[in-house]
Amino acid sequence: MSLHAWLLLGAFLAVLLSTTKPLGLYIAHLMEGRLRWTRPLESGLYRLCGVRPDEEMGWLRYALALLLFNVLGVLAVYGLQRLQAVLPLNPQQMAAVAPDSAFNTAVSFVTNTDWQGYAGESTLGYLVQMLGLTVQNFLSAATGIAVAIALIRGFARHSAATLGNAWVDLTRATLYLLLPLSLAMAVFLVGQGVIQNFDAYREAATLDPAQSGPQLLAMGPVASQEAIKMLGTNGGGFFNANAAHPFENPTPLTNFVQMLAIFLIPAALCVTFGRMVGDTRQGWAVLTAMTLLFVVAAGAAMSFEQQGNPRLAALGVDQAAGDGQAGGNMEGKETRFGIADSALFATITTAASCGAVNAMHDSFTPLGGLVPLANMQLGEVVFGGVGSGLYGMLVFAVLAVFIAGLMIGRTPEYLGKKIETHEMKMSALAILVTPLLVLLGTALAVSTEAGRAGIANPGAHGFSEILYSLTSAGNNNGSAFAGLSANTPFYNLLLAAVMWLGRFGVIVPVLAMAGALAAKKRIAATAGTLPTHTPLFVALLIGTVLLFGLLNYVPALALGPVVEHLALWMDA
């Protein structure tokens, strides 16, 4: 890894971590209702909607509220796509989207996955992009934040029957966190060249017309969607090429800001957590574990991509890094981003549950592509999705104290709460539901004609494409080895089911655990309590995450990227 790549990674972490504390504290104050200035607008909204903001909800009611709210989202996004031919703001006269694709996209954006079987610029009109997809970019992120806050309250409260009010949490996260950040970021993006208009596609005469004839430039309200796509770790591109498209991500600076935006809220929520449970060291411990895992993954991806492709080297292609070029494996990468910014982006987008891409992961080197795949398979708890990263990591923390409890022979406890049978059942469920969906789904796809028909690349890489798609859907990431032709009824329905269960099959047990934790008494720490803010615990937490990831997925990874790596370099 070059000095430049290290400096880039260092600068990224330095800027990110400088925002973490102020934003994290702001979120804590906001979600606990301690900001007076938010009240006038909020209370008007609640009156209009028939929300009683003081009503406290038990875990089941909280979960039902979120489920209902998200089902409405699926219906709305599905309906808008099916009706888009007769709706306004559709200058390219896009036709109604096919039912299977519309359903897949609806579930995809509601579950914060943003897996895209369709190509944006040739499928969706501007109204669907805004009123369908942009809305879900906000609301799915708000849902994730609400669940994380409810789980934190489970630890923070004692002898309590309730976790807060879902409507209030959704509203505050949307109005006072996601909206202002998005507005500022969107305006910045436009200044850098991201488009924002409602024009019909523009025709441009080209310079060398013998080659291509006039060029039709896709248009649209891109910046407003791009901002929340990153801040909400959604990742669904306005265009097919996502953040590799120059109109979505025109400069190295927009790229840097987009990378920061992905980790901004997930990192800050660690501080929110520490603050709300009354011990900031707990939040920093979780953040440290995340950061260490991330640095290793980013370093690996950048190194593997810089190695280039031995098959091109055999043709005499110059892949060496020098003053005049980035070198390395440039297939599927943009010149302005080169190797370091592309590999770093790929690591960030899969460590978080974002799934935006600024380079085509399908064309990564085998081990370079293994990094994003493995990141998702760890459950996206390395910063992770907005909200979902923190609640995922806290489930692993519960598991870690349980394992430690077995080793030292004491009843495990975390943050003054005894971890008992019910909590272990719920956390086991939350951890196991995703690998189960991913591996069974992959098995189904590779053993059916309809599943294998989507493969674009021959050999082990074809298997990786399928494994990647199910991994991405099950973990609500949304990035792809995009060669896979996934816009078929088979994949649209399979992946929609996996996305839905991968989202709410985790959220419901997490809320159930939160409810049980809130009801417990807080016990005082004794000499026998395992402290959970120490380097030892950070190591234990990292070990637990890696252990489960490896146990679940190593056989599948061996069949895909590992075999491909050996084949690529064997005769090189």
Partner 1 sequence: MKTLVRPAVSLFLLLSALTGLAYPLAVTGIARAVFPEQAAGSLIRDDRNRVVGSALIGQQFGAPQYFWGRPSATAPRPYNAAASSGSNQGPLNPALVEAASARIEALRAADPGNRQPVPVELVSASASGLDPHISPAAALWQVPRVARARGLPEARVRSLVESHAEGRQWWLLGEPRVNVLQLNLALDALGP
- Residues from 114 through 173 that contact partner 1 (CB under 8 A): 119, 121-122, 130-132, 134-135, 137-139, 167, 170-171
At 503, give phi and psi (nearest 5°): -85, -60
Closest CB 483 distance from partner 1, rounded Å:
3
Per DSSP, the residues of 459-524 read THHHHHHHHHHHHHHHTT-----TTS---SHHHHHHHHHHHHHHHHHHHHHHHHHHHHHHHSPP--
446 sits near partner 1 (criterion: CB under 8 A): no
In the window 373-402, what residues touch partner 1 (CB under 8 A)? none
Pick 40 or 322: Cβ nearer partner 1: 322
Cα–chain center distance at 466: 19
Pick 63 or 378: Cβ nearer partner 1: 63
69 sits near partner 1 (criterion: CB under 8 A): yes
338 sits near partner 1 (criterion: CB under 8 A): yes
Closest CB 126 distance from partner 1, rounded Å:
9
CA atoms within 13 A on the CB side of 23: 22
Q: Which of 192, 403, 422, 533 binds partner 1 (CB under 8 A)?
A: 192
Q: Token digits for 386?
A: 């907005």
Taking each helix axis as running N to C, give the angle between helix 388-408 and helix 280-306, from 0 to 180 degrees, rounded to the nearest 10.
Answer: 110
The Cα 191–Cα 195 span in angstroms is 9
56 sits near partner 1 (criterion: CB under 8 A): no
255 sits near partner 1 (criterion: CB under 8 A): yes
* Cα→Cα distances 333→190, 243, 294, 327, 378, Å: 23, 11, 22, 11, 25
Residue written as tokens 């909607």?
Answer: 49
Closest CB 242 distance from partner 1, rounded Å:
9
Q: Which runs of consecutive H residues, i.e. helices, occur in 382-488? A: 388-408, 421-446, 449-452, 460-474
Closest CB 193 distance from partner 1, rounded Å:
5
Q: Which of 21, 153, 417, 461 binds partner 1 (CB under 8 A)?
A: 461
Q: Token digits for 195?
A: 């488009």
In the window 282-311, what residues touch partner 1 (CB under 8 A)? 308-309, 311
Pick 51 or 399: Cβ nearer partner 1: 51
**Taking a C-beta distance cutoff of 8 angstroms, is the pair 138, 174 a contact?**
yes
Pick 224 or 475: Cβ nearer partner 1: 224
572 sits near partner 1 (criterion: CB under 8 A): no
Closest CB 369 distance from partner 1, rounded Å:
8
359 sits near partner 1 (criterion: CB under 8 A): yes
Cα three-residue angle 152-156-157, rounded to 5 degrees: 120
Burial of residue 86 (number of CB atoms within 10 Å: 0-12, 13-18, 19+) = exposed
Residue written as tokens 């064309």?
Answer: 363
Pick 187 or 432: Cβ nearer partner 1: 187
Pick 324 or 409: Cβ nearer partner 1: 324
Closest CB 468 distance from partner 1, rounded Å:
11
7 sits near partner 1 (criterion: CB under 8 A): yes
Closest CA to 53 of 169, 152, 163, 179: 169
The Cα 515–Cα 520 span in angstroms is 9
In the window 31-50, what residues touch partner 1 (CB under 8 A)? 45, 48-50
Q: Which of 6, 26, 256, 490 binds partner 1 (CB under 8 A)?
A: 256
3-state secondary structure of 54: coil
In the window 209-228, what residues touch partner 1 (CB under 8 A)? 210-212, 215-219, 221, 223-225, 228
Q: Which of 164, 327, 384, 515 binds partner 1 (CB under 8 A)?
A: 327
What is the chain's alpha carbon radius of gyration, rounded to the nearest angstrom?
A: 23
Choose the binding region for partner 1 from 2-10, 274-282, 469-477, 549-557 (rule: CB under 8 A). 2-10
Q: Which of 330, 398, 516, 542 binds partner 1 (CB under 8 A)?
A: 330
332 sits near partner 1 (criterion: CB under 8 A): yes
Q: Token digits for 413?
A: 């406890």
In the window 464-523, what residues touch partner 1 (CB under 8 A)? 464, 481-483
